[in-house]
Structure 1
Amino acid sequence: MIGRFKSARSEERYFAAYDEIAARWPVPVQDLDVGTRYGPTRVRVSGAAGPPIVLLSGVMGTSLSWYPHVAELAARHRVFAVDTLGEPGRSRQTRPMPTGEHCAEWLADVLDGLGPGKFLLAGVSRGAWLALTLAAHAPGRIAGVVAFEPPGFAPIGRRFLWWSVREVATWFDPRPRAAVRRALRPLLFGGLRFRAHHPPQYLLTDDQLRAVSVPVRLILGERSVIHSAREVEQRVKALNPLFDVEIVPRATHALPLQQPELVTARILTANRVPPAAAPPGPSPRSTPRENPSSG
């Protein structure tokens, strides 16, 4: 099935919030609709040159969740922030993606639409799972992966559900340290009116982890509720020498919100493709769209 909003009014309110946040994008931006076999995918492009980075958000995060990071990243890189197909956002799904392999095909189509060369993939939570899924199935267009708190290493149970309830409560925190939450809050709550149809986030098998042939950096929260960080570290290091693991003390699954500076720094210091391999610009499959936040 294909995700959709519960009502036209819900969709209208969501995109009003989306456009308001998009206007705060801190650097010049061009919006592209990249053609894929599963529907056009919205990508926000910033940065004039430099090795290319594709940013993949967590559930309901959209490309806009990267606005605290994009200014520093775009100063050194060509940055492509993606609205994940099948979730609320400006991408428009036209065909179901019932399995992880279909998700990998979609993401491969996005990379093909962005131009030649190899891309560093940086993902948060489900976005990190998508990056690892593509790396396991078709790593040819990938220079490396930076994965923050990816699922796929242990079943997600009630502990995560209870943690999620408590985490949502923090989005009402009025204190200055919650500025990012306040900015993105209308998008999060508006996204709750979207009926998403995600494929199961399957557990990554040993064979899949062995098949990854590009450098991968896993950044895990010491207090994560979706897996044991130490067990993940031991497993991937035993299976594949290309995996590097960092466990962030006291961090939870909300690590990107708790330590946004760390997220930016780890992406900047990850394995990069040479500047000559960076895509020169959108391919003919990508259709530029005017955006009021450009400039």
Structure 2
Amino acid sequence: MRISEFKNGKAEARYRTAYERALTELWRGPRTPLDVPTGFGTTRVYRTGRTEGTPIVLLPGSGGNALMWHRYLDALAARHPVIAVDTVGEPGASVQSAPVRNGRDAAAWLEELLTALDLPSAHLVGCSYGGWIALNHRIHHPGRTATLTLVDPAGLADPGRRFYTWLITGGLAALAPRPLRPRLARLVRNSAILETELMALIRASMGFRRRLPLATTLTDEELGRIDAPALFLLGEHSALHDAPAVAARLHRLAPAARVDLVPGTGHALPTDDPATVTAGILTMADRPAG
């Protein structure tokens, strides 16, 4: 298998410039960047927040990086250490050096990262593809997860044609003149296109060749092994899956997990309802140890 990379030096330089601009614009508070070597490549993370306690580790969705969490950082960092991750193989400041072939490899990458950061325990938060990675990590490396917060995670059902249609229409809407975007965002149920800086960063990533595996659907046996304290936040109208059916599956297979259908939201749940997502993350991270 091949690895994710820019198609040429010009495309990489264009993206790096856009990334630094977005980082400066969206993350104005304190942060400490770290480049962490793993067997899958060098992973960029940003530390912020309190210095004591179990950290919240933020994993972005497909095509994103640590900056997708920019609206959440102040609230989370006020109460906990926070580590925001540029997932290896996604467009960001991480550099992939070996292929990620499946969920087991993705889990191995995350385990190496947490080990290198000397984190015996972490509150894992994953959105969409990042949620799939967090779930795989819990399945294959169960000792390090304090809690899980999964924000409309992938891997709970096979995405159908509706999801790919949603991706395409959202991408087209993001190219529309800015005054038209609020109306289009409502029409296609994708509030993420209103994130002007992030949309500019996504456009700059067009020269990036993403070669990560599809988020395969977790089996009943795998979901039954999710025994850490877990919160699943599902967009009521998610294009990724039939959220009520997924909720019923989770209630059956992981009865100890909390499963919330968030009214009026879709797969762009982090921008549809950031208050509910923030509250959910903090509810899990504030749980007493043990």
Normalising by the residue count of structure 2, what TM-score does the alignment of the two structures yield?
0.89
Q: Is the 8 A contact 2:49 2:78 kept in 1?
A: yes
Q: Which deviates the most, 229-238 or 265-274? A: 265-274
Quick check: 1:72 aligned with 2:86? no
Q: What letter corresponds to residue 72 of structure 1 in structure 2?
A: A
> Structure 1, residues 106-135: CA drift from partner, whole Å, max 9, x if none?
001111111133100111110111111111
Once the 2 structures are TM-superposed, how far is the Cα of residue 64 of structure 1 from its aligned partner?
Answer: 1.1
**Aligned sequence identity (%):** 39
In structure 1, which of residues 36, 53, 56 is the aligned counterpart of residue 56 of structure 2? 53
Structure 1 runs of 4+ aligned residues shifted over 6 Å read 176-179
Secondary structure at 1:46's aligned position in 2?
Answer: strand
1:27-66 pair list within 5 angstroms: 27-49=29-51, 50-66=53-69
Secondary structure at 1:192's aligned position in 2?
Answer: helix
Q: Is the 8 A contact 1:26 1:70 kept in 2?
A: no
Secondary structure at 1:85's aligned position in 2?
Answer: coil
Secondary structure at 1:87's aligned position in 2?
Answer: coil
Once the 2 structures are TM-superposed, how far is the Cα of residue 240 of structure 1 from its aligned partner?
Answer: 1.9
Q: Is the 8 A contact 1:60 1:188 kept in 2?
A: yes
By relative contact order (CA 8 Å, sep 6+), the higher-ranking structure is 1
1:108-147 pair list within 5 angstroms: 108-147=111-150
Secondary structure at 2:178's aligned position in 1?
Answer: coil
Label 1:75 to 1:37 Cα distance change in 2 as closer, same or farther (>3 A): same
In structure 1, which of residues 210, 214, 217 is the aligned counterpart of residue 228 of structure 2? 214
Q: Is the 8 A contact 2:87 2:94 kept in 1?
A: yes
Q: Is the 8 A contact 1:86 1:198 kept in 2?
A: yes
Gaps of 5+ in 1: 278-295
Q: What letter corresponds to residue 102 of structure 2 in structure 1?
A: T
1:244-283 pair list within 5 angstroms: 244-272=258-286
Q: Is the 8 A contact 1:38 1:96 kept in 2?
A: yes
Q: State the match for 2:13 in structure 1.
A: 12
Q: Is the 8 A contact 1:17 1:186 kept in 2?
A: yes
Q: Is the 8 A contact 1:26 1:71 kept in 2?
A: no
1:167-246 pair list within 5 angstroms: 167-171=170-174, 172=176, 174=178, 181-246=195-260
Structure 1 CA distance for aligned equivalents of residues 288 and 34 of structure 2: 24
> Structure 1, residues 200-254: CA drift from partner, whole Å, max 9, x if none?
3111111111112201111111111121111111111111222110001121111
Residues matched between the structures, number:
276
Once the 2 structures are TM-superposed, how far is the Cα of residue 173 of structure 1 from its aligned partner?
Answer: 6.0
Q: Is the 8 A contact 2:160 2:241 kept in 1?
A: no
Secondary structure at 1:134's aligned position in 2?
Answer: helix
Once the 2 structures are TM-superposed, how far is the Cα of residue 274 of structure 1 from its aligned partner?
Answer: 5.6
Structure 2 CA distance for aligned equivalents of residues 251 and 238 of structure 1: 23
Normalising by the residue count of structure 1, what TM-score does the alignment of the two structures yield?
0.88
Structure 1 CA distance for aligned equivalents of residues 177 and 286 of structure 2: 37
Secondary structure at 1:139's aligned position in 2?
Answer: coil
Q: Is the 8 A contact 2:56 2:285 kept in 1?
A: no
Structure 1 CA distance for aligned equivalents of residues 78 and 144 of structure 2: 23
> Structure 1, residues 16-64: CA drift from partner, whole Å, max 9, x if none?
0100111131321000011211111000110132431000001121111
